[in-house]
Amino acid sequence: MLTFRRFPYNDFRNAGPLGKSIDAKGSSRTRKRKRWTSSASASLGEQSRGGDAPKVQRLAWGLAKFAGASALVLAAFVVALPSILSTKAGLRSTLAIVNRFVPGEIAIRQASLGWRKPVNIENLQWGDRASEAAGSALVEVPSIRSSASLWDIAKGHEYEVLISNPCVDGSLADDGTFRLQQVAQGKCASSAQALGKAEDGDEVVRFAAEGKFLSGHIFVSDGVIHGLPSAAKEVVGNDLHLTAIVGAKQLKTDGAEYNIEAEWVDHTPKPPKSRNIGRPLEPTVVKVASEHINAQLNGWRTTDGIILHEPITASFAYTPALAKYGFAKVAPLLANVAAVEEGGLVSVTVTPERMELPSERMAVRVEPLKLKIGRGPLLGKAIEFLASQGGGGVGQRGSLLQAQTSAIQVDVLDSGSLETQRLDLLVGGSTRGLHLATWGKVDPKNDQISMWLGFPAASLSRLGLKGLPREAMLPIAVQGSLHQPRVKWLDGYRKVAALATVYKPAAAEGSAETQPAAAPSLRRSVFQEALQSMAASEGALAEEVEVPPPIDGVLPWETVQEDGSIVSTVSEDADGDGILSAVVGTLGHLVRKAAVALGRILHIL
């Protein structure tokens, strides 16, 4: 019978070299198992203590892999993008995306792009769907070519871009604004069949442009603006040229070449971020020059506009169109300007609200002018209102008159409406001329005005109301249209007659002779109370309108004395003393009755 004995494992391990080797391997495996068990226990201990290290590590590793894959995909897309845009399908898809974020619609027939070859774009068009359907885009550019590849441009190397033969639509829409402006504002432009009237004309102005934008040098050659109204063509003239430089380095390096001062770039800190148009970026200068215009803009380009360093400056050569569509729309008194003396230049500054462009309100200032002016529908009637039988020294009927203006300041609203600040006009010479003033609102789109025609103290002296204070002003309401202003002349005659009845007692009491120190304030009180009493008696509070002071405080035909007082060079002894009798005779019993009735009411002394 066979018997089996349990293998003497312990004896075998201790027996000879083989046993020692097996024992050593077993001990090694035991130690490794213990270390693994210890490490796992420690890890489980950490997890039991709230640690999520493995999960965080796995999440971080997953995000890293996703970011890496995305970067590779993005890099591949960037590398392939020029080739994609060079295909018709890729270009069409890309423009479909771009057109969702820009006003109007961009169309490109063909593009040749590459990281290692120059850019070439053919037949770029911009407009809205209506204009494209009608077959006439608002902007057409046959060719855009660069001298450098996209890679060189991205690396900041200097390059040139040539834009050849651009064609711009300068026609007007029904509301008087440019169709180009409508599309840029996100509106639908009027169709080509609904453009301005035939007499507006269809003029063409050729233009060119040059710009330096950081490392790029851009040239625009042989451009054409077509469809312009005749008046706009006359104001602009021929050979329009635009120059723009963007960047501090470019301005300091190349500014002198274009007669541009760049010292302000180093001495003026950047303005703060604008709530409306974003953060200021690079300093920018834009110049416009043509046969009749010179203008310059200095400021900082922003993400959505420009923050100005100083007001926009411009000078215009006088043209009949400038008189008709500039002066005449500001105030009916300037409806018949025939010439600008002393060189024929009109100096203008434009100050937008908060010094930002675009802006909802802009103040346009025209420096004082010396003019040759005809008797328009308002000026002629104003002269007749105060003229003597011999003409009063302001020229015979039908002749051009010498005239001088104060500074002209107009607030232009984004709606197109104008708010004309006080404009003073001296007609007929600095010593014996007729002084008039006007201010109020003008709506050129609807051809409506709501203004005041003012007769200052020097003009009222022609009616026998002498010694009035400098601030005295007799306002008469003007309404109607720019071409046919309606003035309440009857109210003016009635006021003058009533003022004469109440003002003569003031002079008779000897204020000017016996109490010279108190005379000015007394005369001012009498004058103002007379106007207020008339307004109350007529139930018209509008007559109590506050008369604005002159724009610059002192008029060009006034002088400041050593004691600080301001004296006008217009004499109160000019022809026309005692015209009141002629005026009353013209209106007959109507004015007499009004003067007597108001005189009984206006016992204010």
Q: Which phi and psi angles does 176 have, rounded to 5°?
A: 90, -5
* Contact present, 119 and 150 (Cβ < 8 Å): yes
**Structure confidence at residue 28 (pLDDT):** 53
Identify the pLDDT of residue 449. Answer: 94
User: In terms of pLDDT, which residue wins out, 176 or 209?
Assistant: 209
Residue 364 CA to residue 330 CA, distance in Å, equals 11
Q: Which residue has the tokens 């506050």?
A: 546
First to last CA, the chain: 161
The separation between CA 570 and the C-alpha centre of its own chain, rounded to angstroms, equals: 38
pLDDT band at 182 (very low <50, low <70, confident <90, very high): confident
User: From CA 97, how far away is CA 278, in angstroms rounded?
Assistant: 24
Asked if 224 contacts 203 with a C-beta cutoff of 8 angstroms, the reply is: no
Residue 406 backbone zone (phi > 0: left; psi -120 to 50: alpha; other: beta): beta
Q: Quick check: is 167 in a domain?
A: no
User: What's the pLDDT score for residue 29?
Assistant: 53
CA–CA distances in Å: residue 215 to residues 145, 153, 465: 16, 8, 69
Residue 216 CA to residue 394 CA, distance in Å, equals 59
Top-confidence residue, 567 or 84: 567
| 373 within a domain of the structure (yes/no) | yes
302 in any annotated domain:
no
Q: How confident is the model at residue 458 (pLDDT cuts 50, 70, 90)?
A: confident
Give the HSE-up count for residue 571: Cα atoms under 13 Å, Cβ half-sphere: 11
Range of the domain at 329: 311-605
Burial class of residue 133, CB neighbours in 10 A (0-12, 13-18, 19+): exposed
pLDDT at 171 over 50: yes
Closest by CA to 108, choosing from 74, 143, 62, 70, is 143
Give phi and psi for 566, each to the nearest 5.
Answer: -110, 130
Q: Is the residue at 81 inside a domain?
A: no
Residue where the block lists tokens 């529908």: 377
Q: Which pLDDT does position 42 carry in this prediction?
A: 47
Q: How many distinct structural domains can be found in the chain?
A: 1
Please check the confidence at residue 193 and state whether its pLDDT lies above 90. Answer: no
> What is the pLDDT confidence band of residue 429, given thresholds at 50, 70 and 90?
confident
The answer on pLDDT for 400 being more than 60 is yes
| Residue 353: predicted pLDDT | 95
Name the β-bridge partners of 347: 315
Q: How far apart are CA 201 and CA 298, in angstroms?
A: 34
Share of the chain above pLDDT 90, in %: 38
Pairwise CA distance, residues 229 & 284, whole Å = 30
Please say if the pLDDT value at position 48 is more than 70: no
Average pLDDT over residues 252-281: 91
**Interatomic CA distance for residues 263 and 310, integer angstroms:** 13
Res 286: pLDDT: 97
Higher pLDDT, 67 or 289: 289
In-domain check, residue 115: no
pLDDT at residue number 129: 67
Residue 271 lies in a domain: no
What's the whole-number mean pLDDT along residues 508-521? 39
pTM recorded for the entire structure = 0.75
Closest CA to 225 of 274, 146, 170, 276: 170
pLDDT at residue 307, as a whole number: 96
More confident residue, 519 or 555: 555
**78-87 mean pLDDT:** 76
Cα–Cα distance, 266 to 270 (Å, whole number): 10
Please determine, for residue 580, whether its predicted confidence score (pLDDT) is greater than 60: no
**530: pLDDT confidence band, cut at 50, 70 and 90?**
low
Within-domain flag for 223: no
Residue 334 has what pLDDT? Answer: 92
Lowest average pLDDT, out of 135-149, 280-294, 437-451, 587-601, goes to 587-601
What pLDDT was estimated at residue 503? 60
**How far is the C-alpha of 154 from the C-alpha of 396, rounded, in Å?**
71
Q: Name the residue with tokens 């724009």.
A: 551
The arithmetic mean of pLDDT across residues 280-284, rounded, is 94
| Residue at 340: amino acid letter | V
State the residue for tokens 């035939």: 198
Nearest to 513 by CA among 525, 500, 526, 523: 523
pLDDT reported for residue 579: 35
Of 332, 404, 339, residue with least CA distance to 368: 404
> Tens digit of pLDDT for each residue in 224-260?
999 888 888 999 998 999 999 999 999 999 999 999 9
Question: Is 481 contained in some domain?
Answer: yes
